[in-house]
């Protein structure tokens, strides 16, 4: 089974835009209520994170199909439905991503980053496709954490230790 970068966030948080950056090309898919598999990315619908009873499904998908996970928070709303410490339950590298950050004040950016840390992300980036801020760092993180964990066929090179 091919491992992908899992992109998680509420509707409108920028999942498809981030996925387009990772893929290197835009997608023509419309808003979906189901999982969207691309060659390097697995987009998880916002409804999955809004409904806490779906959180275990996201964990299962990550365990079986993802090399890394990106947890997005929309800079326009700073709204988060992530449970406290949720990202720490994953056995893959996880990165918090604050999107649409070009217009944010220092305080708003700090509040968004704080929410990502509260969600359990040990690393977080502020990204703006409008200005290009953080885009290179995001792609470098993915290349360093997710793609190095996959071999040419898309399988993990090393499996994390299960407890």
- We report the CATH number of the domain holding residue 64 as 3.40.50.300
42 within domain boundaries: yes
How much is the pLDDT for 30? 72
In a domain, 135, yes or no: yes
Q: Is residue 155 part of a domain?
A: no
C-alpha 63/C-alpha 60 separation (Å) is 5
Q: What is the mean pLDDT of the chain?
A: 88
Lowest mean pLDDT among 56-65, 93-102, 118-127: 56-65
> CA–CA distance from 104 to each of 6, 53, 56, 64, 108 (Å)?
26, 32, 32, 36, 6
Whether 161 is in a domain gets the answer no
> Does residue 162 belong to any structural domain of this protein?
no
Query: pLDDT by residue (tens digit) across 28-45?
Result: 877 677 889 999 999 999
Indicate the number of domains in the chain.
1
Q: What's the domain range around 47? A: 4-149
In DSSP terms, 36 is beta-bridged to 43
> Stretch 137-153: mean pLDDT, rounded?
76
- Place 27 in a pLDDT band, splitting at 50, 70 and 90: confident
Instruction: Examine the pLDDT at 156 and tell me if it is beyond 50.
Output: no
What is d(CA 41, CA 43) in angstroms, rounded to the nearest whole number? Answer: 6
Residue 157 lies in a domain: no
């Amino acid at each position: 089974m091919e491992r992908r970068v899992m992109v998680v966030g509420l509707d409108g948080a920028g999942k498809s835009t981030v996925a387009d950056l990772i893929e290197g090309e835009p997608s023509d898919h419309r808003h979906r209520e189901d999982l969207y598999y691309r060659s390097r990315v697995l987009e998880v619908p916002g409804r999955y994170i809004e409904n806490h009873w779906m959180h275990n499904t996201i964990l299962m998908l990550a365990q079986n199909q993802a090399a890394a996970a990106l947890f997005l928070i929309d800079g326009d709303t700073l709204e988060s439905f992530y449970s406290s410490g949720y990202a720490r339950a994953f056995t893959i590298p996880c990165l918090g991503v604050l999107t649409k950050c070009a217009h944010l004040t220092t305080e708003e950016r700090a509040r968004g980053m704080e929410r990502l840390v509260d969600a359990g992300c040990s690393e977080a980036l502020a990204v703006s496709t409008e200005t290009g801020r953080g885009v290179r760092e995001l792609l470098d993180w993915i290349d360093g954490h997710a793609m190095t964990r996959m071999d040419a066929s898309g399988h993990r090179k090393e499996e994390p230790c299960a407890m």
